[in-house]
Every structure is written in C-alpha cells, then in structure tokens.
Amino acid sequence: MRSSLSLWLFGIIVLTILGFLTVFRPISFTPRKDPSDASRYLQPVGTGKDFDAERPPTSGTFAALGQSIYVYPPQHDLRLGLDLRGGMRVVLEIPDRAVFDYQLSKDKTPANSVDENTMQNALTVLLADPKALGPDAQDSSKVQVRVNGGTVEVVTQPKNTEEAKFQLTKISAAMTKLVGQNNYTAPAADSVMNTNTLANQRADIQKSVLSIMEQRLNSTGTTEVSAYAEGTNRVVLEIPGVKDPERALGMIKSLAQMQFRILPDDISSSTDPVTGKETFSRFGKAMTDAEVIRDSKLVLTGDSLNPTSGATYDEAHHPAVQFSIKPDKQSYFGAMTQANKNKRMAIVLDNKVLMAPVIQSSISSSGIINSPSGNFTMQQVTDWATLLNAGALPVPVHIVETRMVSATLGADSISKSLLAGIIGFALVLIFMAAYYRLPGLMANLALVVYVILSLAVLKLFDATLTLPGIAGIVISIGMAVDANVIIFERLKEELLTQKPLGTAIDVAFQRAWTAILDSNVASLITGSVLYALGTGAIRGFAVTLIIGVAVSLFTAVTVTRLFMKLMIRTKAAHKLAWYGL
C-alpha cells in the first residue's frame, strides 16, 4: 500500500510540473520568434513573406544553455480570443449567384452585328432598374455584365430560383431586341440556378472568397489573420490588432473590380485644384461616374493584370500604383493605347472613376496609375495594389456581423479578470482552510493542482481563451470545491460513527462519489448545449466549463484523497479538532 501511495504522489507531482510547463513553456529547443521584433522581420508589401524564421531573435532569450536549449521567462502560451487580444471579427455572407451565359451566333448578319459596347451598355441600363431583377427586388447595384468575344455573361444574385427565372425572361427579351431572336442561344432555365450546381458552386465560391480575403488582409502587415469557412455560405475573418476598422472593412467590402475604359471625346474632365478631385462633364453638364462608365468603352479588366502590382512613387514623388499586364493581353492593350492616343482613359475601381488621364503613349507591358494632382496617399495606393493582386471577388459579399475590441480594452479585460480570479481563488482558499481545517488545506492543494491542470488541458486542446472563458475558469473554481464540500461533510458524519480515520476517509469518498458524479453531469449537459449552439465567446465559456468539470472530478476526488491518505500517516493529523468537529 505504501509504495502505491508514493507512486500516486509522484505521478501527481509530475503531472503538475508537466502542466505548468505546457502552459508557460519556459523551455524550448528552438529559438523562439519574439513578436515584439516583428517589425524587423516583415518584408515589404507584395512579396508575401512575414516572419523570417532564419534570423534568431535577439530579445526574449533568457539564457541559452549549450547550443540547443533556450530558457525564457515564464509567459503563458495560451491562445487568446479576440476579445482579449484586441481585434476585429467579421462575418461575411456569400449570396448565391446566377450566371446567365448567352452565346451569340457566329454568322455576322446585319441584325446581330451590334457593337459589343452598345450591347453591354444596353444590358447594364436594363438591369440597373431593380424592376428587371424581380418583382420585389430592391438592390440592383451588384449586377455584373460582361460582353466579350461571342459571349454575353450576366451575373446577378437572385434570392431564389423564381427570381432567377424572372431575370432570365427579362434578359432574353432584351437580347431579342438587340440582336434578333435567332441570333443567340439562351441558357436553359433549369441550369441557371440549379440546386445541384448551386451546392458545388457555393463550395467553390466560398473557397475563392476565403483565399482572396486572406490575401487582402495578410498583406496589410497584421500578423495571424485567420479566415475560415462557416456553413455553406459564410466566411469568418478574425483580424487581430486592427487599428483602423474603417480601412479593414473597406478592404473586405471591395469587389476589387478594376476596369480601364476609353472615354469618348465629348466628355471633358476638370480637376478641382483644391481637393484634387476630378469631375466629368459633357456639353457643360456634369456627369456622374455611372454615366461616364456607361458611355465609355471597356478595354481591359483587372484580371488581365499580373498579380504583382505594388505601391510606388511617380516622377513627381507622389504615391502611385504600379501595374503590369499579362503577356497575352499586352499586344491588344498596346494596340488600343496606340490607336487612342490623346484620348482619356478612365481607370475605374468598383464602379468609381479613380482618374482619367490622357493617353500619352502606347502602354503594352506595364504602367503606373497616379493622381493628376498627386493626392493619393501611400496607404490608398498600397491598399489598391493589394486589392488588385488578390483579385476581384466572384460575388459581392455582405457583411453581416462585425465585432471589434481595441487592444487596450482587451488588455484591460485580461488584467481585471486575472485580478478578480486571484481574489476569488484566495477567498475560496481562506474559507476552505478556515471551515474545514486540515481537510480544507488538502483541498486547497488540490485546487492549485486543479487550476494548473485545467489550463494545461485547455492548451493541449488548443482551445481559445475568451473573456467569458476566464469567467468560466473562475466560476469552475467555486464549483470544483463543491465536490470537496460534499466529501468533507460526509467525512464529518462518518467520523461521528464507529469508523477509524482511514476507513472514514475511504467511506466518505466512496459514498460521496455518486452524488458528485451525478450532479456534475448536469453541468456537462448545459456545457455541451452551450458549446454546440454558441458563437465564439460563448463557446470559450462552454469549453472552460466542461474542462473545469472534468478536471475537477479528477482533482477534487483523486488528488484530495491522495493528500489526505498521506497526511493521516502522521500522528498529528489524528486530532479530531482538525476535522472541524
């Protein structure tokens, strides 16, 4: 019996030390990257690299023993949620899209030799009216029309198949008017928004949106942006350390559709010398961006650019965007710019005209986009370059939820809840020692082991610690003690009957075990329900609650019992007064 007790004690001590090491990780076998050195490791925008793992950190190493063991001051290694780190959480909903693909017949007859540009404009105008999209559609801003070669592609986001079919009839009617009934093939009504293709489409679009968002946000220099898919049509972005929520949201919302369009001669532009804003007018009448776009001719879209755009400075040392054109479009664009020299080329991003400079010479492989009055900021051009490189979104996304907590509020929450936790813990320790005396002390020791083991389990499961999670740990401390309270009350009763101390302890633990187990099942039930149905922060609470219950079943019973059995081997422990009687 003796040796098995010592073995148990040894086991508990080893477990506790391992738990401490897991949570605080003071020892590591590779030099640790120190986040505070991040600025030294970040590479310039556009190269896609951040930490340089080859350069060892110069700070943070406490001592290097030999060549292969690094010792750091103990610092917890738990993954913190955004409400503790500070940052922004954005949930995007991806609407379903319907793609209407019309093929124009190959024979050119007078009826169907309508100019592509005219066709594009006619369809755009038609679909700009919400009534064309559906009987109760309200938003028409996200329709995309593309006419290229012999195909017409219209992309909309109908609410359901009825609306999609409605749109199909409207678009087909417009096509008939434009090129004549027999000169095009319409897509089959069922294929436009088929539930089967929809399911596949959703997955693909979700993946595409995910990767685009990751690229957009990672390039802004923030570390550890995490993007993950949720359900079939949602993407969740977690951006720690956001300093400017507006900018981040702008990067997320943007469709990043870039177009180069050639303006007809009768549109003139003037630049306000004060604001630097360019405005367009025709015959003295001011024009909106939408009108300018409608009347101009599309020559190149963003997907014809290499994903290597970057921020740079123009000759006047103002920030500008540098772009380069893909090889297969270079000759076309070169010819276009050559033929349209001295005309204005409007550069449009997300249906807003950025600027419309005069084409000075032919551009075939690369160029820069700069503001005529030099009033683009470095941040703006960097963001535009990033958006271009990441690519245009296949569908416009809806932002359905944003939560942002500043880093100071996060740090504040951590320190305050830590303080509360320590005070609560201390109060419980004092109470247990005062009321239950010797067993209480044993329970307190077990409680310390409990806290360390709980945190270690949290770390092992790579669970995220949130603010409600910390509250969960603190509350679990109060609840973990309950098992001990049950046992010790039972112990008192057993001592009042005919049992010697050792047996009394055994019987008390035994009899109390069923009550403890059953009552903790209820907490496990509610914890599981909360985990299944809760969102981020609440899930953190559920996780700590469940882990707390599970670990407390171990420490409150096994560990306390071990300590008590060890204690009673000493004579001093046999005074009844020590047991609260």
- Considering only residues 421-480, where is the footprint of other proteins by CB under 8 A? 421, 423-425, 427-428, 431-432, 434-435, 437, 467-468, 471, 474-475, 477-479
Nearer to other proteins, 107 or 518 (CB): 518
- When the beta carbons of 34 and 489 are compared against other proteins, the nearer one is 489
Least separation, in Å, of the C-beta of 440 and other proteins? 10
Options 105, 499, 506, 513; binder of other proteins; rule CB under 8 A = 499
- Min dist CB 185 to other proteins, Å, is 33
Distance CA 175, CA 488 (A): 85
Min CB(247)–other proteins separation in Å: 9
* Interaction residues for other proteins, span 25-84 (CB under 8 A): 83
Q: Answer yes or no whether residue 501 interacts with other proteins by CB under 8 A.
A: yes
| CA dist., res. 484 & res. 445, Å (int) | 12
CB of 108 to other proteins, least distance (A): 42
Q: Tell the smallest beta-carbon distance from residue 549 to other proteins (Å).
A: 9
Nearest in space to 472 (alpha carbons), one of 522, 518, 420, 519: 420
- Output the CA torsion 393→394→395→397 (10° steps): -30
Within 117-146, which residues bind other proteins (CB under 8 A)? 138-139
Phi first, then psi, for residue 526 (nearest 5°) are -65, -35
Burial of residue 94 (CB within 10 Å: 0-12, 13-18, 19+) is buried
Task: Kindly state whether residue 506 participates in binding other proteins, applying the rule CB under 8 A.
Answer: no
Task: Between 71 and 533, name the residue whose CB sits nearer to other proteins.
Answer: 533
Contact positions with other proteins (CB under 8 A) in 528-567: 529-530, 533-535, 537-538, 541-542, 545
Please report whether residue 241 would count as binding other proteins according to CB under 8 A: no
What are 359's strand-pairing partners?
A: none
CB of 148 to other proteins, least distance (A): 29
Q: What is the 3 state secondary structure string of 435-448?
A: HHHHHHHHHHHHHH
Give me the least distance between CB of 201 and other proteins, in Å please: 20
Which residue in the set 13, 14, 18, 420 belongs to the binding site for other proteins (CB under 8 A)? 420
Q: Name the minimum Å distance from CB 454 to other proteins.
A: 14
The distance of closest approach from Cβ of residue 494 to other proteins in the complex, given in angstroms and rounded to an integer, is 10
If binding is defined by CB under 8 A, does position 91 make contact with other proteins? yes
Q: Where are the alpha helices (DSSP H) in 180-311?
A: 189-192, 195-218, 245-253, 289-295
Q: Give the number of residues written for the chain.
A: 581
Q: Which of residues 425 and 509 has its CB atom nearest to other proteins in the complex?
A: 425
Our CB check for other proteins shows the closer of 91 and 441 to be 91
User: For other proteins, which is the closer residue by CB, 1 or 572?
Assistant: 572
* Contact status, residue 537 vs residue 468, Cβ threshold 8 Å: yes
Cβ atoms of 297 and 117 closer than 8 Å: yes
Report which of 355, 354, 359 is spatially closest to residue 333, judged by C-alpha positions: 359
Window 345 to 404, contacts with other proteins (CB under 8 A): 398-404
Nearer to other proteins, 27 or 420 (CB): 420
Q: Which of 52, 129, 496, 569 binds other proteins (CB under 8 A)?
A: 496
Question: What pairing do the DSSP bridges indicate for beta strands 79-80 and 464-465?
Answer: parallel
- Nearest distance from C-beta of residue 275 to other proteins, angstroms: 17
Distance (Å, whole) CA 293 – CA 302: 15
Residue 228 lies near other proteins (rule: CB under 8 A): no
Q: Are 523 and 429 in contact (CB under 8 A)?
A: no
H or E element: which one contains 576?
none
Residue 165, interface with other proteins (CB under 8 A)? no
Nearer to other proteins among residue 291 and residue 489 (C-beta): 489
3-state class of 154 per DSSP?
A: strand
Q: Which is nearer to other proteins, 17 or 533 (CB)?
A: 533
Q: How many residues bind other proteins (CB under 8 A)?
A: 85
Sheet architecture: strand order including 144-148: 144-148, 151-156, 98-104, 184-185
E strands, 241-376, are: 258-262, 267-271, 278-282, 285-287, 297-301, 310-313, 319-324, 345-349, 352-355, 366-370
Both structure tokens of 123: 């369809």
The minimum distance between CB 202 and other proteins, in angstroms, equals 16
Residue 231 has phi, psi (to 5 degrees) of: 65, -155
Which residue in the set 519, 553, 554, 566 belongs to the binding site for other proteins (CB under 8 A)? 519
| Residue 210 C-beta: closest distance to other proteins, Å | 19
Q: Is residue 515 at the binding interface for other proteins, with CB under 8 A as the rule? A: yes
- 48 Rama sector, left if φ>0, alpha if ψ -120 to 50, beta otherwise: left
